[in-house]
Chains A and B, each alone.
Chain A
Amino acid sequence: MLKKIFDTLRPTFTEGKLSAFRSVFDGFETFALVPNTTSKSGVSIHDSIDSKRIMSMVVIALMPALLVGMYNIGYQNALAAGALATTSCWSMFLFGLAVMLPKIIVSYLVGLGIEFVVAQWKHEEIQEGYLVTGMLIPMIVPVGTPLWMLAVAVAFSVIFAKEIFGGTGMNIFNPALIARAFLFFAYPTTMSGDAVWVAKDQFLGLGHQLPDTFTCATPLGEAGAGMEITTDMASMFTGLMPGSIGETSVIAIAVGAFILLWAGIASWRTMVSVFVGGALMAMLFNSTGCASNPAVAQIPWFEHLMLGGFCFGAVFMATDPVTSCRTEKGKYIYGFLIGVLAIAIRVLNPGYPEGMMLAILFMNMFAPLIDYFYVSNNINRRAKRAKQQ
Chain B
Amino acid sequence: MSLFNSKNKEALNNPLWKDNPVVIQVLGICSALAVTSQLEPAIVMGLSVTAITAFSNVIISLLRKTIPSRIRIIVQLVVVATLVTIVSQILKAFAYDVSVQLSVYVGLIITNCILMGRLEAFAMMNGPWESFLDGIGNGLGYAWILVVVAFFRELLGNGTLLGFQVIPDCAYEAGYMNNGMMTMPAMALIIVGCVIWAHRGISKDE
Residues of A within 8 A of B (CB): 146, 148-149, 152, 160, 182, 185-190
Contacts and interface: CB of A to CB of B under 8 A. Distances in A.
Given A149-B177, A185-B184, A187-B177, 18 more contacts: A146-B175, A148-B175, A148-B176, A152-B179, A160-B190, A182-B181, A185-B180, A185-B181, A185-B186, A186-B179, A186-B180, A186-B181, A186-B182, A187-B179, A187-B180, A188-B180, A189-B177, A190-B177
Across the A-B interface, give the 4 residue pairs with the lowest CB-CB distance, nearest first: A186-B181, A186-B179, A185-B181, A186-B180
Contacts of B186: 185
Interface string B50-82: 000000000000000000000000000000000
A42 to B, nearest CB: 37
A148 B174 CA distance: 11
Contacts of B177: 149, 187, 189-190
A188 B178 CA distance: 10
A47 to B, nearest CB: 39
13 contacts: A148-B175, A148-B176, A152-B179, A160-B190, A185-B180, A185-B181, A185-B184, A186-B179, A186-B181, A187-B177, A187-B180, A189-B177, A190-B177
A165 to B, nearest CB: 12
Among A149, A185, A188, A190, max chain B CB count under 10 A is at: A185
A190 B179 CA distance: 11
A3 B186 CA distance: 48
Interface string B173-202: 001110111101010001000000000000
A264 B204 CA distance: 47
Contacts of B181: 182, 185-186
Contacts of A152: 179
A95 to B, nearest CB: 21
A190 B181 CA distance: 13
Contacts of A190: 177
A114 B118 CA distance: 41
A187 B182 CA distance: 10
A147 B184 CA distance: 24
Contacts of A149: 177
A148 B179 CA distance: 12
A182 B177 CA distance: 14
Contacts of B180: 185-188
Among A152, A187, A189, max chain B CB count under 10 A is at: A187
A330 to B, nearest CB: 28
Nearest to B182: A186
Contacts of B175: 146, 148
Nearest to B175: A146
Contacts of B176: 148
Among A148, A186, A187, max chain B CB count under 10 A is at: A186
A187 B176 CA distance: 10
Interface in B7-50: none
B188 to A, nearest CB: 13
A146 B179 CA distance: 14
A146 B176 CA distance: 9
A9 B40 CA distance: 57
Nearest to A160: B190
A160 B175 CA distance: 25
A149 B177 CA distance: 9
Contacts of A189: 177
Nearest to A184: B181
A175 to B, nearest CB: 15
A189 B182 CA distance: 15
A185 B183 CA distance: 10
A152 B184 CA distance: 17
Among B176, B177, B182, max chain A CB count under 10 A is at: B177
A281 B30 CA distance: 37
A47 B168 CA distance: 57
Contacts of A160: 190
B151 to A, nearest CB: 18
A146 B190 CA distance: 24
Contacts of A185: 180-181, 184, 186
Contacts of A188: 180
Interface string B144-157: 00000000000000
Nearest to A187: B177
Nearest to A183: B181
